[in-house]
Amino acid sequence: MRKSFLRRAQHLPPSPWNRNVNAQTERLTLTGAAGAIEALRDAAQLAEGQAPRGVAIIAHPHPLFGGSMDNKVVQTLARAFVHSGFTAVRFNFRGVGASAGVHDAGQGELQDLLAVVQQVAPEGPIALAGFSFGAFVTSHALAQLWPEGRVERAVLVGTATSRFAVADVPAEAQQRTLVIHGEADDTVPLASVMDWARPQILPVTVVPGGGHFFHGQLPLLKSLVARHLLPGL
């Protein structure tokens, strides 16, 4: 870990969400092109001598509509990765919380995500995940990072295909990519996601009756992601 990029603070105080993610949640300050990037790292609870499977970087929904790393879907994704043996890192895009800068409609946010990857996982296996606007940004990060051969898994939830130019999933990455969408999503219609996925012949897992934020269905969301993360894929 590059100490010049990262400062570790005290463990977070217990809260209903942080306590359930992991007792080893740490607050990090990273550095991006716009300045400081606020992040949280949830360490997997592993047997003595066992190493994490990799580092999962998780991106949050639209900053201009209240999106942050504290979003419940984002935290559910973190739980799924931690449960599956990954270290999970979620972070605030520029202009959110203690992260410096202003919203940049996806371009700057992609640079934020790539800067986080560089600092928390400069080498070794990684996973990428995002929700809504975060899935849009993650799609572009996946397209850029896939040729490096380090991406073990990708998870795109509530992908904002009707609002942004979501990148195609590299053909070789499709088996390792899980796309989940709610049948009743009224923020990003399912039809829009299918129109994006169809030319790629990319499977989409549809949650019956699910809305954009998966209210009442977060345990199911976690289970679907954890199943995707099973070793051996």
pLDDT tens digit sequence for 16-70: 333 344 457 999 999 999 999 999 999 987 888 899 999 999 999 999 999 999 9
The pLDDT assigned to 47 comes to 82
The pLDDT assigned to 78 comes to 98
The pLDDT assigned to 159 comes to 98
Long-range CB contact pairs, 198-207, < 8 A, 24+: 199/168, 200/168, 200/169, 200/171, 200/174, 202/169, 202/174, 202/177, 203/174, 203/179, 204/179, 204/180, 205/178, 205/179, 205/180, 205/181, 206/180, 206/181, 206/182, 207/180, 207/181, 207/182, 207/183
Please, are residues 32 and 111 in contact by the beta-carbon 8 Å criterion?
yes
Taking 70 as the pLDDT cut, the residues of the chain under it are 1-23, 233
The pLDDT assigned to 45 comes to 75
Domains present along the chain, CATH in parentheses? 7-228 (3.40.50.1820)
CA pair distance 117, 68, nearest whole angstrom = 18
CA pair distance 25, 45, nearest whole angstrom = 11
CA pair distance 170, 177, nearest whole angstrom = 10
Q: What letter would DSSP give residue 175? A: G
Report the residue count for the chain. Answer: 233
Backbone angles phi, psi at 223, to 5 degrees: -65, -40
